[in-house]
Structure 1
Amino acid sequence: MQPTIGSAAGAARKLKKTLDHAGFYPALVLDVILDALDGREPAGDLVHLETHVERTEVHRHITVLVLTEDMLVVTQADDQHLEEDGAEPLAHVSTESVPLAAVTSVVLSAAWARPHEYRPADQPREVTLAISWSGAQRLDLVPAGCTDPQCDADHGYTGTAALEDLVLRISADADGPDAVEAARRFARSIRAASAVPGGTHPRSAPARGGVSTRLGRTQSPHPGV
């Protein structure tokens, strides 16, 4: 995936235009991204803006994924109001540079409305893009129980462990159908860019031992059963 000079310049212009359209401190976010690229040429990007309303405050969060020949640059920014009247906002921006060789999983989940009427040209109503690279796991734990309503024994905890460093949910209703299609295109691009010849990956060996692998299995609440 070696971009030409023309295509790289076009990708950079497209990124600037998309950031300007998002309207979330575009000049600041673009400068941070360019600094994180360390001279690399962008080959593709995905920009996702979220807005959260908390009581009387409105918070925005933007995630920008930039794909280069050998790197995935993840930039995230949000704002914080230091005063109650919101006169002095503070922007927090972070970047992470992920070698494409370290990407272990790209998961794209999609939801279609009226699937019984599906036609090949139909677009999904929403997609969820999950990308994993560091092996970090999210643990969802709940107290374990049993079917005996009179049992008051401590059965410990049960739950699931999910590998995911980044998860983006993009909806046609909230973000527009173009944003959904952009996410699907980016997923295809990073799948192709992170593919390892021969179908093997240096980090694809299954984990052994440890609490996370045990938590991913269904266990009986009673030892020995």
Structure 2
Amino acid sequence: MTPLSSAKGRDLQADLNRAGFYPKMVSDIIDEVLDGREPGDHLVHLETHFDHNEVHRHITVLVLAQDVLLVAHVDDQELDDNGKEVMAQISTELVQLAKVTTVATSYVYHQPQNYRTGDTVKELTLGIAWAGAQRIDLAPAGCPDPACDADHGYTGTSQQEDLVLRVSAEADGVAAVNAARTFAKAIRRASAPRGNAVEAKTQQAPATEVRGRVASRFGRNTHQG
């Protein structure tokens, strides 16, 4: 199994270059938003989607820098049929790590009956919540009696929405899954330090259960089924 080593700030530009999605532009915006903070652990996630005859790419960059989490999301769009006129939009959000309420990770293993310590994770979903915005999904409540036609009201779930990234070994490679797993460990440590800091943070913000998916705040839903 590849060691779960995390890329530090000095490798951020190299990872942006490897992604190949306007790396200089993205780097300049990140530098501007961090405003002198030194970047630490980071995750660069490039996704490609096919829509009929069109190819759409977008990139999400997560950077831990001292007391903050930087979230940057970049989309581009062709304005003409020949692809000569292109527009890119970069959205950023700087989140105080003290405001992060949830770091949720979902692991998918193939053939779990044969699991051994160190087996490769086939798919990992990383969800991060910080703003406390809630989405409520409602549906008519059911009844176990098939002959019952009474109105049982509604049932549903309430879940926080901030950001989710799904990384697959099949689509993105094992190294990408390992990188996402390592970043998840880094942000868990940074946002929920052990000891007295944990107790102080718990007193400031009561725990909130997050169920279901967490969605991107930047227009495009980054959760793909």
TM category, shorter = 0.7 to 0.9
Shift of 1:54: 1.2
Equivalent residue, structure 1, for 2:105:
108
Shift of 1:116: 1.6
Matching of residue 83 in structure 1 with residue 84 in structure 2: no
Equivalent residue, structure 2, for 1:205:
206
**Structure 2 unaligned residues grouped into runs of 5+:** 1-6, 211-225
Equivalent residue, structure 2, for 1:144:
141
Is the 1:104–1:203 contact (alpha carbons within 8 Å) kept by the matching residues of 2?
A: no
- Residue identity matched to 1:205: P
Is the 2:101–2:207 contact (alpha carbons within 8 Å) kept by the matching residues of 1?
A: no
- DSSP 3-state at the match of 2:8: helix
Deviations 1:170-213 (A, max 9, x none): 00001100111111111111111112443332443257xxxx9x
- Residue identity matched to 2:162: D
Identical-pair percentage: 55
Shift of 1:156: 4.4
Q: What pairs up with 1:154-193 in 2 under 5 angstroms?
A: 155-193=152-190
- Supply the distance in 2 between the matched residues of 1:185 and 1:55 (Cα, whole angstroms): 35
The higher radius of gyration belongs to 1
Give the ranges of 4+ consecutive aligned residues of structure 1 lying more than 4 Å apart after TM superposition: 147-156
Is the 2:56–2:76 contact (alpha carbons within 8 Å) kept by the matching residues of 1?
A: yes
| Higher RCO structure (Cα 8 Å, ≥6 apart) | 2
- Supply the distance in 2 between the matched residues of 1:118 and 1:206 (Cα, whole angstroms): 32
Deviations 1:21-78 (A, max 9, x none): 1111111111111111110001110011111111221111111000011000000011
- Supply the distance in 2 between the matched residues of 1:150 and 1:27 (Cα, whole angstroms): 64
- DSSP 3-state at the match of 1:29: helix
Q: What pairs up with 1:1-225 in 2 under 5 angstroms?
A: 11-147=8-144, 155-196=152-193, 197-198=195-196, 199-200=198-199, 201=201, 202-205=203-206
Instruction: Give aligned pairs, total.
Output: 199
Deviations 1:117-175 (A, max 9, x none): 21112121010101111111233232334455566665543211122411110000011
- Residue identity matched to 1:23: G
- Supply the distance in 2 between the matched residues of 1:165 and 1:79 (Cα, whole angstroms): 21
